[in-house]
Amino acid sequence: MSTAAVMENQPHVPEVIPTFTATLIIRRFDPEVDDEPRWQDFDVELRGTDRVLDALHKIKWEQDGSLTFRRSCAHGVCGSDAMRINGRNRLACKTLIKDLDISKPIYVEAIKGLPLEKDLIVDMEPFFESYRSINPFLMASGSPDKERKQSPVERARFDDTTKCILCAACTSSCPVFWTDGQYFGPAAIVNAHRFIFDSRDEGAQVRLDILNDKEGVWRCRTTFNCSEACPRGIQVTQAIAEVKMAVLRGKP
Ligand code: SF4
Ligand code: FES
């Protein structure tokens, strides 16, 4: 009998995927019960491919159904599961447990600077209010017969800031935003940049006037927390610097 035939006759033995136990310490808050947030730890059995989001699901499904967090796509697209993981803003669905130091507990808490609603959920309305205030849509007059044309070079000018998924990781990592509830925040400026530098847009000056406000771009202290936090790799601090320059000199 050939080797191939022998292999075919072998019973299929399912591969055993190794598991390990990680401890997550989660900052919990239930407004109906708690006066203050409290930390609660959970031991979870995980595999090397699991992400923090998988660990949260396991806790919710197997240990404590009251654990509350947001998620939708689970693949880094919708921006709904930004949270502080070991003191750094990240997307839970993009953070592999094995990339963290599992010899120590993993601390998970809600992003800072926005009103805490429950467990890992904050009220995002102040964040979206800032976003809406910079007119995050194309402002262009006339009705062209066909498309509004743009060269590849013109398109490349604002390519980086088109990648924003509005997760708030940047804004909620900004110390100015933590202390000054009125600051527009990095995400709003990133999304203003996306239109200010779009050659088809005619609303740049409107947005620049809005961001020249005392709570606008000049509140930025260039701490780079925002760029480090962005899960899309957007050069947030650079975008803010370019908007500052445009406020001073006009749209280039
Ligand atoms: S700029 Fe980056 S961190 Fe900020 S909201 Fe957009 S995707 Fe999130
Ligand atoms: S769940 Fe959509 S970005 Fe993480």
pLDDT in tens, 9-62: 677 777 777 899 999 999 999 999 999 999 999 999 999 999 999 999 999 999
- Atom nearest to 231 CA in ligand 2: 3
**Rounded distance from Cα 74 to ligand 2 centre (Å):** 4
If one counts every other C-beta atom within 10 angstroms of the C-beta of residue 238, the result is 14
Give the CB-side neighbour count of residue 1, counting CA atoms within 13 A. 7
What's residue 181's pLDDT?
A: 73
* Distance (Å) from CA 31 to ligand 1 centroid: 28
Dihedral class, residue 202 (left if φ above 0, else alpha if ψ from -120 to 50, else beta): alpha
User: Closest residue (by CA) to atom 3 of ligand 2?
Assistant: 76
pTM of the model: 0.91
- pLDDT for 143-175, tens place per residue? 888 889 999 999 999 999 999 999 999 999 999
Give the distance (Å) from ligand 2 centre to CA of residue 148.
32
- Please report which ligand is nearest the Cα atom of 173: 1
The 8 Å CB, 24+ separation contacts for 217-221 are 217/184, 217/189, 217/243, 217/244, 217/247, 218/244, 219/176, 219/180, 219/183, 219/184, 220/176, 220/186, 220/189, 220/244, 221/175, 221/176
Going from the N-terminus, what domains does the chain have, and what CATH number goes with each? 19-122 (3.10.20.30), 125-137+153-249 (1.10.1060.10)
For the CA of 93, the nearest atom of ligand 2:
4
Q: What does the alpha-carbon distance between residue 36 and residue 116 come to, in Å, rounded to a whole number?
A: 11
Q: Is 91 in the pocket of ligand 2 (CB under 6 A)?
A: yes
Residues contacting residue 58 through CB under 8 Å, at least 6 positions apart: 44, 45, 46
- Whether 52 and 92 have beta carbons less than 8 Å apart is answered as yes
Q: For ligand 2, what atom is nearest to the CA of residue 71?
A: 1
pLDDT at 233 over 90: yes
For residue 8, what pLDDT is reported?
A: 62
